[in-house]
């Protein structure tokens, strides 16, 4: 199992998504008086004091993104552990790639259209956004590795 390259890709994707659970900022929304930070735990408001750029954090909105990230990590683990049934692993990896892409596009659209926080001056991409974007090509490479293994096994079955 560990000798296959897609296993390494799956493990890296799980580590990257697990790092989002540490609370890194995905998006930042500056306003005139406040700064809103969006992470997997929801939106936090930082009220700026006189010279202090960031004040005390207040949790405004809970996020379903936290549960989505945990469920997706478990889904990638399921796809990783399905290495004995290659057809199932192929289907799960293809579905994981689709869910990851759609989730990333929906998150970016929600943030860029201003649906997460109303009345902001703009949007700032945080470290968490870049971490989540790096996972997309890795899950694609894992999909290509599973597809290659499946095609190799099918060609061997034809020879028998």
CATH assignment of the domain containing 47:
1.20.140.150
Identify the domain containing residue 147 by its residue range: 5-154
Residue 90 in any domain: the answer is yes
Q: What's the N-to-C CA distance of the chain in angstroms?
A: 24
Structure tokens at 34: 């406040």
The confidence score (pLDDT) of residue 1 equals 59
Per-residue pLDDT of the chain (160 residues; tens, 9 = 90+): 566 889 999 999 999 999 999 989 898 888 877 788 888 888 877 766 544 455 455 555 567 888 899 999 999 999 999 988 989 999 999 999 999 999 999 988 888 887 777 777 788 889 999 999 999 999 999 999 999 988 888 888 777 6
Strand order in the sheet with 42-47: 57-61, 42-47, 34-39, 27-30, 124-125
Please count the structural domains in the chain. 1
The confidence score (pLDDT) of residue 92 equals 95
Residue 47 in any domain: the answer is yes
- How far is residue 145 from each of residues 11, 87, 115, 138, 150, measured CA to CA in Å? 14, 13, 37, 11, 9
Q: Are 90 and 150 in contact (CB under 8 A)?
A: yes
Residue 159 in any domain: the answer is no
Residue 32 in any domain: the answer is yes
The confidence score (pLDDT) of residue 48 equals 61
The confidence score (pLDDT) of residue 32 equals 78
* Separation between Cα atoms, residue 77 and residue 3, nearest integer Å: 17
Residue 160 in any domain: the answer is no
Residue 17 in any domain: the answer is yes
Entry field: residues in the chain: 160
Residue 150 in any domain: the answer is yes
The confidence score (pLDDT) of residue 81 equals 92
Residue 39 in any domain: the answer is yes
- How far is residue 153 from each of residues 29, 87, 147, 160, measured CA to CA in Å? 50, 10, 10, 11
The confidence score (pLDDT) of residue 160 equals 65
């Amino acid at each position: 199992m560990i000798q296959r390259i897609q296993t390494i890709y799956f493990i890296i994707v799980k580590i990257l998504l697990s790092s989002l659970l540490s609370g890194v900022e995905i998006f930042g929304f500056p306003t005139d008086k406040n700064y809103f930070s969006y992470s997997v735990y929801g939106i936090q408001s930082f009220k700026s004091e006189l010279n202090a750029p960031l004040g005390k954090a207040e949790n405004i909105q809970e996020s379903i993104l936290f549960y989505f990230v945990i469920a997706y990590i478990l889904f990638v683990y399921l796809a990783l552990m399905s290495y004995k049934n290659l057809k199932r692993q192929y289907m799960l990896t293809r579905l994981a790639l689709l869910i990851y892409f759609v989730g990333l596009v929906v998150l970016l659209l929600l943030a860029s259209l201003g649906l997460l926080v109303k009345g902001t001056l703009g949007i700032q991409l945080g470290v968490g956004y870049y971490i989540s974007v790096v996972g997309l090509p890795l899950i694609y490479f894992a999909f290509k590795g599973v597809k290659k293994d499946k095609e190799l096994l099918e060609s061997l079955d034809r020879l028998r």
